[in-house]
């Protein structure tokens, strides 16, 4: 926790990110092997089409993992991210760039924790998609 | 989906927070260069998920399933090198308007018997055409 962000340096309304990442087939494949989620929906276009998608889609957990990275970078220490909760709202396809971000909603000075609204967006031909629209993160801060 | 499986528990699995596995996962999610990534517990969940997803008693059709919600709660950080016990159970099954929700709760338990991380995954099965 030595490197984690200090309570005194955080205010409600502070923004985190934006942290972009290009989603490639190679990145999806690397995530599949790293996580053990080898569902062919993320690896085989024919299977993805049978399931109703135009191509393979990224794992929801790939997108959440990227969001967690954004929160951990802001927190200063991965170990201080004590809670992360999301709903997956839209698929993400290879070739798209996902952007993680968030905003501090509140601070608890007793537990020394910040609660953040967090999200992941994707730009789709000029309109903004929300693979993760209303996520929540709780980060433990240094007193 | 079979709503009678609520409460069903799956056999516990031993899981090591292996340094190389943590590093591979960190690279895959582009994580900072220290600490176990906050969503690393997903690798523990996937030690058990194939058994649940493939459980004929649950009756999931994988082609119609998407990941709907995910939550991680850390009672403490995971330590590289430690051995955990993974304990999964089906917390809830709900059906609504042709959609079925399967909630799987997975606890990563430390050698002291205390829960270090609780992971809650909700899978959504769409109605067949």
Chain B, nearest residue to A81 by Cα:
B38
- Look at residue A45 and tell me if it is in a domain: no
Q: Does A90 touch chain B if contact means CB atoms closer than 8 Å?
A: no
- Look at residue A43 and tell me if it is in a domain: no
Contact list, A115 vs chain B (CB under 8 Å): none
Contact list, A81 vs chain B (CB under 8 Å): 38, 74
Q: Distance between CA B58 and CA B60 in Å, rounded?
A: 6
pLDDT tens-digit map of A123-139? 998 899 999 999 999 99
What pLDDT score was predicted for residue A2? 57
- Look at residue A97 and tell me if it is in a domain: yes
Tokens representing B88 are 């999964």
CATH label of the domain that carries residue B64: 3.10.129.10
- Look at residue A35 and tell me if it is in a domain: no
The DSSP code for A32 is H
CATH label of the domain that carries residue A92: 3.10.129.10
Residue A116 contacts residue A85 (beta carbons within 8 Å): no
**Reported pTM:** 0.96
- Look at residue A90 and tell me if it is in a domain: yes
CB within 8 Å: B29 and A39:
no
Tokens representing B107 are 């606890």
CA distance A12 to chain B (A): 22
Window 58-87 of A: residues touching B by CB (8 A cutoff) are 59-62, 64-66, 68-69, 71-73, 77-79, 81-87
CB within 8 Å: B27 and A34:
yes
Total number of domains constituting chain A: 1
What pLDDT score was predicted for residue A46? 96
- Look at residue A120 and tell me if it is in a domain: yes
Nearest by CB to residue A39, choosing from B21, B62, B68, is B62
CA distance B48 to chain A (A): 10
pLDDT tens-digit map of A99-109? 999 999 999 99
Total number of domains constituting chain B: 1
What pLDDT score was predicted for residue B129? 61
The distance from CA A90 to its chain's CA centroid, rounded to whole angstroms, is 13
Q: Does A112 touch chain B if contact means CB atoms closer than 8 Å?
A: no
- Look at residue A67 and tell me if it is in a domain: yes
Q: Give pLDDT tens digits along chain B (129 positions).
A: 788 999 999 999 999 999 999 999 999 999 877 789 999 999 999 999 999 988 999 988 888 888 999 999 999 999 999 999 999 999 999 998 889 999 999 999 999 999 999 999 999 998 876
Which residues touch B97 (CB under 8 Å, ≥6 apart)? none
Domain coverage including residue B11: 3-125
Among B38, B121, B125, the residue to mutate for chain A (most A Cβ within 10 A) = B38
CA distance B66 to chain A (A): 9
Mean pLDDT for all residues in chain A: 95
- Look at residue A1 and tell me if it is in a domain: no
Domain coverage including residue A15: 7-24+60-140
Q: Distance between CA B33 and CA A99 in Å, rounded?
A: 20
**Mean pLDDT, residues A114-122 taken together:** 98
DSSP assignment of B71-125 equals EEEESS---TT-EEEEEEEEEEEEEETTEEEEEEEEEEE-TTS-EEEEEEEEEEE
Which residues in B have their CB inside 8 Å of a CB on A?
A: 21, 24-25, 27-32, 34-39, 42-43, 46-47, 49, 62-64, 66-74, 77
Spatial strand order of the sheet with B13-16 comes to A15-22, A97-108, A113-124, A127-140, A81-87, B65-74, B115-125, B99-109, B83-96, B13-16
**Mean pLDDT, residues A18-40 taken together:** 96
pLDDT tens-digit map of A31-82? 999 999 999 999 999 999 998 999 999 999 999 999 999 999 999 999 999 9
Contact list, B63 vs chain A (CB under 8 Å): 41, 47, 50-51
């Amino acid at each position: 926790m030595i490197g984690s962000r200090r309570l005194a340096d955080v205010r409600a309304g502070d923004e985190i990110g934006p942290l972009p990442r290009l989603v490639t087939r190679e990145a999806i494949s690397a995530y599949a092997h790293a996580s053990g989620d080898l569902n062919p929906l993320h690896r085989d276009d024919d299977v993805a089409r049978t399931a109703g998608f135009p191509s393979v889609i990224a794992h929801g957990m790939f997108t959440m993992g990227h969001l967690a990275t954004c929160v951990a970078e802001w927190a200063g220490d991965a170990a201080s991210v004590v809670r992360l909760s999301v709903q997956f709202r839209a698929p993400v396809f290879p070739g798209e760039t996902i952007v993680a971000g968030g905003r501090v909603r509140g601070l608890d000075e007793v537990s020394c924790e910040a609660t953040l609204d967090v999200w992941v967006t994707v730009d789709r031909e000029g309109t903004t998609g929300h693979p993760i629209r209303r996520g929540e993160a709780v980060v433990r801060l240094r007193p | 989906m079979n709503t009678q499986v609520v409460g069903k528990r799956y056999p516990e699995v031993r899981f090591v927070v292996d340094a190389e596995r943590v590093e591979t996962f960190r690279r895959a999610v582009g994580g900072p260069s220290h600490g176990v990534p906050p969503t690393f517990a997903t690798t523990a969940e996937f030690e058990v998920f194939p058994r649940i997803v493939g459980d004929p008693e649950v009756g999931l059709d994988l082609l119609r399933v998407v990941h709907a919600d995910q939550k991680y709660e850390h009672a403490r950080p995971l330590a590289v090198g430690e051995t955990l016990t993974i304990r999964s159970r089906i917390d809830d099954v709900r059906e609504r308007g042709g959609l079925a929700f399967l909630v799987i709760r997975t606890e990563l338990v430390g050698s002291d018997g205390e829960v270090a991380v609780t992971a809650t995954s909700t899978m959504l099965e769409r109605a067949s055409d």
